[in-house]
Amino acid sequence: MTLEPDRATRAELTSFIVEYLADWHDRAATMPASGHDLTSEELEYLQGPPAETGRDLASILEDLDLAGKAGILHPSGGHMSYIPNAGLYTAAMAEFLAAGLNRYTGVASAAPGFTAIEHGVVDWMTSLFDLGPDASGLLLSGGSMANLTGVVTARTTRLGDDFSDGVIYVTPHTHHSVAKAARIAGFRNDQILPLAVDADLRMDPESLRARVVSDRGSGRRPFLVVASAGTTDTGTVDRLHAIAQVAEDEGLWLHVDGAYGAFYQLTERGRTVLAGLERANSIALDPHKGLSIPFGVGALVVRDEADLVDAHLGRGAYLRAEDHYQGVRDIASLGPELSRPFRGLAVWLPLQLHGVAPFRDALDLSLDLAEHAHGRLATIDGVDARWRPDLSIVAFMFDDDDKGKAALEAVNRDRAVHISPTVVGGRFVLRLAILNRRTTVEHVDHAIDVIEKTLIG
């Protein structure tokens, strides 16, 4: 096929793909949560190089069918492992539209209106946290990039060019992308200090304070504390007010990793749990988690745009001298990317089409389901449900780790639901991560019924 298909061919291709997606979305409600493994021959076939001449779309989509049958099926409501994301048809349409338009949003002058739309999406996010008049931010590819951009901004603002004595405070439950971000940003492992957590798995603000004082006493430069607004392990939210107080007293930058949990700010219960988030210097939050936007959209919001610009501004002779156009800031000045997709459309279009309320309702439902799950688990003999969920991840242990491992296998065996484990303090922990808006009380009860049966034997 030519690189310039005519209108009729374009329409044919589009309707083929729309039909394909229509079937996929029709099946979403009844889809199993995990698929069957591919053989090594199938994997080898899928990795094959392209031929010199093309082939028809039907046979290409057959290969896609084959490739897609393995792994975790994210659209399924039974998916409660890791951090779920059902995806959103309207956001997929927006991404098709954005790629089809293929306009450049790295610099504002290239597409001032589109850049303004994207800034508007980020402004809406900063307004959720009341970050003040200088707040800003940008959309990135996900939480890892948001954490990296936050760490680099903190480093530049607080340490300058020589940061070999800087210290970053985390906990053993901080997402691994933070330590990875710190290493990419040039820190050694011994500059990333995991602080012990309390019995509720939260960072202890007074241990933080004591550690900062002692590190400073030994000539190091404490500059960044990373708190969690919902850990991946157990969904735990750190004591944000108390940590913000230590950060303010000790002159630390407070970055909050809310990649999973920060969008609960849309809900009343979430706002209570997340109180203090508004005191952060920067927050990572993922539309591709909390808002069901298809994978590839994360966000970083900051209290002061000047900090982002200091850390990321880059100019070239081939660019306009100013990094803004008609008052619209170049997104490239705020983060690591220059050429970038019009990511904002994938968030803006669904928000315009559906309004904010359905997103809030979906998050509220996940909080209800988590409460329900925890209530049931707490009554089961042999289950240790000591951690009441802060948000929508329900983590629990067994009086014997081997029973937990057997329960995990039993729950995932029939593929109706899929859950994943973690380790807390050396103990095997199961978790129901409820964030997929298609997850129902039946999915949750099915998982708990199987756990109960495994324990009875």
Ligand X SMILES: Cc1ncc(COP(=O)(O)O)c(C=O)c1O
Convert residues 282-301 into a mask of x (bound to ligand X by CB under 6 A) and - (unbound).
Answer: ----x-----------x---
Residue number, 166 or 261, with CB nearest to ligand X: 261
114 near 103, Cβ under 8 Å? yes
Nearest approach, Cβ of 231 to ligand X (angstroms)?
Answer: 6
Task: Report the C-alpha gap between 432 and 429 in whole angstroms.
Answer: 10
Nearest approach, Cβ of 178 to ligand X (angstroms)?
Answer: 7
256 near 227, Cβ under 8 Å? yes
Residue number, 229 or 332, with CB nearest to ligand X: 229
Among 151, 154, 259, 433, binds ligand X (CB under 6 A): 259
* Interface with ligand X, residue 175, by CB under 6 A: yes
Convert residues 60-89 into a mask of x (bound to ligand X by CB under 6 A) and - (unbound).
Answer: -----------------------x------
Size of interface with ligand X, in residues (CB under 6 A)? 13
Nearest approach, Cβ of 134 to ligand X (angstroms)?
Answer: 25
- CB-based burial of residue 253 (10 Å sphere; 0-12 exposed, 13-18 middle, 19+ buried)? buried
Among 85, 115, 126, 144, binds ligand X (CB under 6 A): 144
Residue number, 174 or 191, with CB nearest to ligand X: 174
String of b and e for 364-376 (b: at least 16 CB within 10 Å)? bbbbebbbbbbeb
- CB-based burial of residue 256 (10 Å sphere; 0-12 exposed, 13-18 middle, 19+ buried)? buried
* Interface with ligand X, residue 335, by CB under 6 A: no
Which range of residues in 19-27, 98-106, 139-147, 215-223 is near ligand X by CB under 6 A? Answer: 139-147
For 201-248, the DSSP string reads: S-B-HHHHHHHHHHHHHTT-EEEEEEEEBS-TTT-PBP-HHHHHHHHH
Convert residues 10-49 into a mask of x (bound to ligand X by CB under 6 A) and - (unbound).
Answer: ----------------------------------------
165 near 219, Cβ under 8 Å? yes
Among 126, 171, 232, 412, binds ligand X (CB under 6 A): 232
Task: Report the C-alpha gap between 364 and 264 in whole angstroms.
Answer: 8
43 membership: H or E segment, kind and range: helix 40-46
Task: Report the C-alpha gap between 300 and 126 in whole angstroms.
Answer: 9
The label of the residue with tokens 């157990």 reads: 234
Nearest approach, Cβ of 334 to ligand X (angstroms)?
Answer: 18
Which residues are at the interface with ligand X (CB under 6 A)? 83, 142-144, 147, 175, 177, 232, 257, 259-260, 286, 298
